[in-house]
């Protein structure tokens, strides 16, 4: 079947679905406008489908454009789902801090519900005893400073392996796929911390396949899904999103299930149990408190850690490198700072990060322009919440457009320009207290992996620009670089960044 025929077939299916929805929902049209009169302003919805057609392929950009016309707190009707979109730092503070208690639960996309993920995933389960327990384990046993300090040698080793492979490419004039190289490094860092093994070895095809697998999970979770907008379609799965997500999830959970079973057998054979890595810690907790931590919970927690912790870090590093190559003067300033602070030829270590304010500014500016989760994760109102005189009604979905907030001209001078200098001497940080820069979210739902991501990002980026000069492939000029993005739960470069390293 040709691509054109496939598109025609899909269009017919979608129209049939919409006709069915029209029949099913006609009798449910609201008869009272009492609550709706207090909704934030927004574009006029079409009958039945609402504002779905206005989302486009890149919702972070289309919603930002709509907000310029309708305001920083805006309402849309996405099928049957009332959605409130936040596009300014002041309103984001109301959502993520002032009213965090009532707006901290999640709207669960249908794609997330495969393998009961919504009941076990730290990212999606409601604020509850289980959620608090999982957060406590992650914060205390994986991302605490004492744990990160103890594991510094692992990160240093993995970054040195990255530099060695990059150096080899430099000797042969081969271009480096920055996103794939960063993904491999981050994946192996996590897998060594959790399992004491490399998940991505020298086989680049395996690394690419794992990267593609995790990207597909992110893509399916973010894909506009008719089953989310019209609940009567959940059983039909008209776009096949849940089916595809189930396939990706089955592969990931199967991989981790095999590793857990191997470890359980090893623990039985050895006769002694030591907390040598994170998996041992989880299994130890499971043996002591099986009601809090069983194998299913462990599997879903590992899935969360690898899906959220690899693609996000590698995508941000790729954006940072792309912006530096696109802005050679900025790259030169970063290299000069590294040479002055560390010394030419000396390796960068984590303790150097605090002495590199310009490198820190580069990372912040990358987060501002290219937040790893452009719409964060969707929240849901537990009750009616009043903000700025408008009502966010109970059950409404709430989207915080971190991409739009990072480019808001009322908060940022030359908002669309890459200017790390804006952060020099500034108190603005990305730890959830400054709402004009919220790549990790805020409030109780802020990403627990932030401390590890910060160490890895600065160490990898600083090491790559300190050890090598870089040139674009095939004579491409920096001003001609393609800086377009592609949308999923994580925001990535539409075209992978491939650059040739020149060893210094």
Tell me: the pLDDT tens digits for 288-344? 887 778 999 999 999 999 998 888 999 999 999 999 999 999 999 999 999 999 999
Q: List, for residues 270-283, the tens digit of each pLDDT value.
A: 666 666 899 999 99
Closest CA to 400 of 94, 17, 81, 85: 85
Cα dist from 309 to 186, 256, 335, whole Å:
8, 15, 27
**How far from the centroid of its chain's Cα atoms is residue 148's Cα?**
21
Domains, the chain, ordered by start: 32-503 (1.10.630.10)
Q: What pairs with residue 470 in β-bridges?
A: 501
pTM above 0.85, yes or no: yes
Give all strands (DSSP E) within 33-129, no chain letters: 73-78, 81-86, 105-106
Query: Where does residue 401 rank: exposed (0-12), middle (13-18), buried (19+ CB within 10 A)?
Result: buried
The CA distance from 361 to 504, in Å, is: 24
Indicate the SS3 state at residue 348. coil
8 A C-beta contact, residue 321 and residue 332: no
Residue 447: partners with Cβ closer than 8 Å, 6 or more residues away: 308, 440, 441, 453
* pLDDT above 90: percentage of residues in the chain: 77
Q: Can you tell me the distance from the alpha carbon of 360 to that of 421, in angstroms, rounded to the nearest whole number? A: 10
Span 411-433, average pLDDT: 95
Q: pLDDT of 450-501, one tens digit each?
A: 999 999 999 999 999 999 999 998 778 888 899 999 888 788 899 999 999 9
d(CA 210, CA 205): 9
Distance between first and last Cα of the chain = 52
Residue 152 vs residues 155, 156, 298: alpha-carbon distances, Å: 5, 6, 24
Run of H or E including 469? strand 468-472
Half-sphere exposure at residue 336, Cβ-oriented, CA atoms within 13 angstroms:
7
What tokens were used for 355? 């002495």
Q: What is the pLDDT of residues 169-214, one digit of tens each?
A: 999 999 999 999 999 999 999 999 999 999 887 766 777 788 888 8
Question: Both tokens of residue 144?
Answer: 């605490």
């Amino acid at each position: 079947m040709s691509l054109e025929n496939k598109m025609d077939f899909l269009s017919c299916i979608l129209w049939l679905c919409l006709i069915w929805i029209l029949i099913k929902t006609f009798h449910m049209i609201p008869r009272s406008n009492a609550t709706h009169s207090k909704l934030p302003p927004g574009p006029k919805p079409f009958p039945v489908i609402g504002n779905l057609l206005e989302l486009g392929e890149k919702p972070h950009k289309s919603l930002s454009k709509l907000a310029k016309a309708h305001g920083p707190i805006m309402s849309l009707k996405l099928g049957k789902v009332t959605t409130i979109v936040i596009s300014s730092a002041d309103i984001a503070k109301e959502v993520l801090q002032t009213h965090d208690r009532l707006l901290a639960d999640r709207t669960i996309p249908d794609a997330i519900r495969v393998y009961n993920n919504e009941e076990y995933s730290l990212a999606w389960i409601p604020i509850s005893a289980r959620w608090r327990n999982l957060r406590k384990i992650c914060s205390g046993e994986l991302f605490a400073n004492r744990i990160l300090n103890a594991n510094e040698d692992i990160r240093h080793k993995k970054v040195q392996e990255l530099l060695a492979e990059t150096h080899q490419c430099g000797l042969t004039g081969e271009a480096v796929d920055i996103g794939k190289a960063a993904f491999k490094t981050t994946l192996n860092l996590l897998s060594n911390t959790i399992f004491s093994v490399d998940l991505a070895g020298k086989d680049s095809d395996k690394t690419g396949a794992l990267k593609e697998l995790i990207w597909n999970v992110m893509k399916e979770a973010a894909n506009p899904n008719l089953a989310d907008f019209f609940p009567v379609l959940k059983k039909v799965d008209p776009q096949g999103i849940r089916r595809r997500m189930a396939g990706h999830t089955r592969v990931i959970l199967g991989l981790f299930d095999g590793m857990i079973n191997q470890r359980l057998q090893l623990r039985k054979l050895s006769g002694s149990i030591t907390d040598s890595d994170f998996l041992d810690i989880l299994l130890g907790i499971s043996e002591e408190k099986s009601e809090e931590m069983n194998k299913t919970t462990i599997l879903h927690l590992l899935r969360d850690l690898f899906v959220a912790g690899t693609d996000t870090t590698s995508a941000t590093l790729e954006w940072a490198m792309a912006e530096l190559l696109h802005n050679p003067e900025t790259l030169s300033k970063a290299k000069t700072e590294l040479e002055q602070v560390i010394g030419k030829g000396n390796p960068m270590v984590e303790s150097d990060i605090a002495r590199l304010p310009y490198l820190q500014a580069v990372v912040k500016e990358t987060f501002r322009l290219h937040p790893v989760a452009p719409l964060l994760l969707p929240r849901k109102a537990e009750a009616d919440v009043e903000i700025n005189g408008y009502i966010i009604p109970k059950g409404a979905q709430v989207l915080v457009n971190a991409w739009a907030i990072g480019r808001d001209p009322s908060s940022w001078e030359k908002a669309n320009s890459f200017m790390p200098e804006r952060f020099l001497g500034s108190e603005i940080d990305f730890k959830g207290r400054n709402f004009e820069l919220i790549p990790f979210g805020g409030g109780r739902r802020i990403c627990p992996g932030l401390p590890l991501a910060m160490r890895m990002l600065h160490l990898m980026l600083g090491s790559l620009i300190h050890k090598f000069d870089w040139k674009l492939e095939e004579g491409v000029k920096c001003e001609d670089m393609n800086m377009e993005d592609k949308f999923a739960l994580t925001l990535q470069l539409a075209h992978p960044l491939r650059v040739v390293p020149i060893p210094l």
